[in-house]
C-alpha cells in the first residue's frame, strides 16, 4: 500500500512537472499573440462587427471587410480596387495633409452621400482606414482626413503631443476639415448636399468642431463617439442646423455624465434634432478594440445606430 502511494506521488509530480514545462513553452506564444493585437487590430471593428452583428443584416453582409489589411507604406497617391471598393491612398486635399479616400467601385452614374471621417488621437492609422472601408461598403464615399500631417502615434505621450499641437492651432485644423468638405464636394460622384462627419474621441471632438464651422457648406449630420472636448455653450451650438448623434458611456471620465447631459440640454434648447445614446457601465473609447474599455456588444449596437442615423439623414 505504501509502495502504491509512493508511485502515485511520483506520477503526480511527473505530471505537474510536465504541466509546468508546457506552460513555460506556451507562455511566450501567448505573450506574442497579445503583443501583436495592437497591430492586427488594424483590420478594425469590421471583423468584430461582422462577427457579432448576426442580427443586423446591414453589417452582416460586410463580412468580407474583415480580410482587408491596409498598410501605411504608400508615399504617393495610389488607387486600387479591393473587393468592391475603390481605394485611393494619400489623396492630397489640404496643404501637406493627405487623406484616405474609399468608395464603392460599382458607381452607376448616381451621386453618393459622403462622410468625412476623423481619426482618434493616434492619427490616420490602419484602424481608421479599415473603418472607412467598413462604412464605404454601406454605399458611402468616405474621406478619412489626416490632422497629424502623416504622423501616427505609437505611444500615449506621442498622442498627447500631436493632439496638443492640433488644439493649439484651431484655425489650421478648421481649415483642414473645411478643405476636406470642399474636396469631396468637387468629386463628380459625390452628392455635395449630403455630406456628414464622424469621429471617435479626439476625432469626435473635431467632428463637432467641423459642425460649428460649416456655415459656408452645411452638413447633413454630425456624429461623435465620446468626443472631446464637448461644447455645451448654447450660443455656439446654435450654429448647427442639422441632426447630431452622440455616443457615450456613463463612466467616461473624459466626458462625465453631467457634461453629457448638459450637451444634450443645450442641443435641445437650440431645437437641434439629436440622438444621445448613453451606455451604462462603459468608459471612454469603448468602441476601440485595442483599448481596455472595449465593449464589443455595445459597439455593435452603436454602429447599427450610426448606420441607421446616416441612412435617415443622408
Tens digit of pLDDT for each residue in 183-232?
Answer: 999 999 999 999 999 999 999 999 999 999 999 999 999 999 999 999 99
- Tell me, what's the pLDDT at 48? 55
Region 242-265 average pLDDT: 98
Give the number of C-alpha atoms closer than 13 A to the C-alpha of residue 88, restricted to the C-beta side.
16
Identify the residue whose cell numbers are 474621406: 143
CA distances from 129 to 5, 100, 125, 173, 213 (A): 63, 7, 6, 20, 25
Between CA 101 and CA 91 the distance in angstroms is: 7
Q: Of all residues in the chain, what percent carry a pLDDT higher than 90?
A: 71
Q: Which three cell numbers stand for residue 103?
A: 468608395
- Tell me, what's the pLDDT at 47? 58
Q: In what order do the strands lie in the sheet with 244-249?
A: 78-82, 85-94, 97-104, 141-144, 112-118, 190-200, 221-225, 244-249, 274-279
For 129-166, how does the pLDDT look when each residue is reduced to its tens digit (9 = 90+)? Answer: 999 999 999 999 999 999 999 999 999 999 999 999 99
Residue 91: pLDDT over 70: yes
Work out whether the CA dihedral 240, 245, 251, 257 comes out positive or negative. positive
Residue 312: pLDDT over 80: yes
- Tell me, what's the pLDDT at 45? 58
CA distances from 64 to 49, 137, 205, 304 (A): 11, 10, 31, 18
pLDDT band at 82 (very low <50, low <70, confident <90, very high): confident
Beta strands in the chain (DSSP E): 78-82, 85-94, 97-104, 112-118, 141-144, 190-200, 221-225, 244-249, 274-279
Between CA 291 and CA 270 the distance in angstroms is: 35
Residue predicted with more confidence, 45 or 3: 45
Residue 300: pLDDT over 60: yes
Residue 46: pLDDT over 90: no
Peptide bond preceding 200 in cis form (omega within 30 of 0): no
- Tell me, what's the pLDDT at 57? 38
For 95-120, how does the pLDDT look when each residue is reduced to its tens digit (9 = 90+)? Answer: 989 999 999 998 877 899 999 999 99
Residue 128: pLDDT over 50: yes
Q: What is the mean pLDDT of the chain?
A: 82
Amino acid at each position: 500500500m505504501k509502495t502504491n502511494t509512493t508511485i502515485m506521488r511520483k506520477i503526480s509530480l511527473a505530471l505537474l512537472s510536465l504541466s509546468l514545462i508546457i506552460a513555460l513553452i506556451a507562455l511566450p506564444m501567448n505573450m506574442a499573440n497579445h503583443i501583436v493585437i495592437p497591430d492586427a487590430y488594424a483590420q478594425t471593428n469590421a471583423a468584430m462587427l461582422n462577427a457579432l452583428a448576426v442580427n443586423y443584416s446591414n453589417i452582416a453582409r460586410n463580412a468580407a471587410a474583415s480580410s482587408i489589411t491596409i498598410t501605411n507604406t504608400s508615399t504617393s497617391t495610389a488607387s486600387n480596387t479591393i473587393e468592391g471598393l475603390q481605394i485611393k491612398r494619400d489623396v492630397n486635399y489640404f496643404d501637406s495633409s493627405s487623406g484616405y479616400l474609399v468608395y464603392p467601385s460599382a458607381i452607376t452614374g448616381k451621386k453618393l452621400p459622403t462622410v468625412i471621417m476623423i481619426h482618434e488621437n493616434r492619427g490616420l492609422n490602419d484602424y481608421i482606414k479599415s473603418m472607412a472601408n467598413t462604412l464605404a461598403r454601406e454605399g458611402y464615399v468616405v474621406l478619412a482626413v489626416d490632422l497629424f500631417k502623416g504622423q501616427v502615434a505609437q505611444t500615449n505621450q506621442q498622442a498627447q503631443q500631436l493632439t496638443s499641437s492640433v488644439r493649439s492651432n484651431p484655425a489650421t485644423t478648421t481649415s483642414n476639415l473645411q478643405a476636406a468638405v470642399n474636396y469631396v464636394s468637387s468629386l463628380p460622384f459625390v452628392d455635395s448636399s449630403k455630406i456628414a462627419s464622424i469621429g471617435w474621441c479626439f476625432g469626435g471632438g473635431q467632428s463637432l468642431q467641423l459642425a460649428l464651422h460649416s456655415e459656408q457648406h452645411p452638413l447633413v449630420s454630425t456624429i461623435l463617439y465620446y468626443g472631446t472636448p464637448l461644447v455645451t455653450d448654447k450660443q455656439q451650438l446654435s450654429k448647427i442646423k442639422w441632426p447630431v448623434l452622440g455616443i457615450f458611456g456613463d463612466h467616461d471620465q473624459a466626458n462625465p455624465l453631467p457634461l453629457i447631459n448638459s450637451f444634450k440640454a443645450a442641443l435641445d434648447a437650440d431645437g437641434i434634432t439629436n440622438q444621445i445614446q448613453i451606455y451604462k457601465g462603459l468608459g471612454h473609447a469603448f468602441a476601440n478594440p485595442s483599448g481596455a474599455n472595449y465593449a464589443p456588444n455595445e459597439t455593435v449596437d452603436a454602429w447599427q445606430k450610426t448606420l441607421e442615423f446616416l441612412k435617415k439623414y443622408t
